[in-house]
Amino acid sequence: MKRKFWSWVRNEAEEERILVLNGEISDETWYGDEVTLELFRKELDVGTGNITVWINSPGGDVFAAVQIYNMLMEYRGDVTVKADALAASAASVIAMAGTMVLMSPVAMMMIHNPMTIAIGDSKEMQKAGEMLDEVKESIMNAYEIKTGLNRTKISHLMDAESWFNSKKAVELGFADGILNTEKSTEDMAKGTEVEDMMFSRTAVTNSLLSELIPKPKGTPVEQLEKKLNLLAH
């Protein structure tokens, strides 16, 4: 059994279910691991009521994220996403499934282009690039639905590997609000308001990236092609 990157908590008082996504999303490929996929689906469907999803993740397997996004979008209750500290890469795709997306005042969100590992001649490299373009177009749909931004703007943000603090995420539409707003209002009155900020790859030091996000493992091109074929059916 692979490491579970999620856990459930039941809030009996408020009849609310809490889903916690913590750490890297699916260390290994999601497809071909039907036990994990079915386990998540069964745990999601076993209860009713609204769900609060707490996210603290540097990302991981984009196909796992897409599956979770789809399941949460299809869930009958309201889904409130709360970014605790980090919702980066594939984790940001999951966040877009929220009926309401809230971020901690100190949380960060990051979006970028999908990555893979490819070995072969120039034709294989070209094929891998074309498949990555298709994956990008697919996950852009989630960002577009949530934010209402045009695809050109979203594409440019992904190309730049963009980091948003909570205020910038709200401004761009990736989030709907900031957690602890009453406390934030008090801080603003004291002159400690946090400015909305967005960082590109060039503005973030290599040391910061190495601390926040493990070096991406990528997905071998053969597995990427197999996953795309599965999504097409």
Question: Which range (38-47, 160-169, 182-191, 224-233) has the least confidence?
Answer: 182-191
Spatial contact of 100 and 176, defined as CB atoms under 8 Å apart: yes
Question: Which domains, ranges and CATH numbers included, belong to the chain?
Answer: 6-232 (3.90.226.10)
- Does this model's pTM top 0.85? My answer is no
Give me the pLDDT at residue 88, please: 97
- Residue 78, beta-bridge partner list: none
Residues 6+ apart with CB under 8 A from 44: 19, 71, 72, 75
pLDDT at 43: 93
pLDDT tens digits for range 33-90: 554 777 889 999 998 899 999 999 999 989 889 999 999 999 999 999 999 999 999 9
Rounded to 10 deg, the angle between the 151-159 and 122-147 helix axes is 120
**Exposed, middle or buried, 122 (CB in 10 Å: 0-12/13-18/19+)?**
exposed
Q: Which residue has the tokens 């984790």?
A: 91
The token pair at 223 is 């597995």
Cα within 13 Å of Cα(6), Cβ side: 23
CA torsion, ordered 149, 152, 156, 157, to nearest 10 deg? 10
Is the distance from CB of 25 to CB of 64 less than 8 angstroms?
yes
- Stretch 188-214: mean pLDDT: 50
Dihedral Cα 208, 212, 214, 215, nearest 10 deg: -40
Half-sphere exposure (Cβ direction) of 111: Cα atoms closer than 13 Å: 27
pLDDT of 108-162, one tens digit each? 999 999 987 778 888 888 888 888 889 999 999 999 999 999 999 999 999 999 9
Q: What is the mean pLDDT of the chain?
A: 82
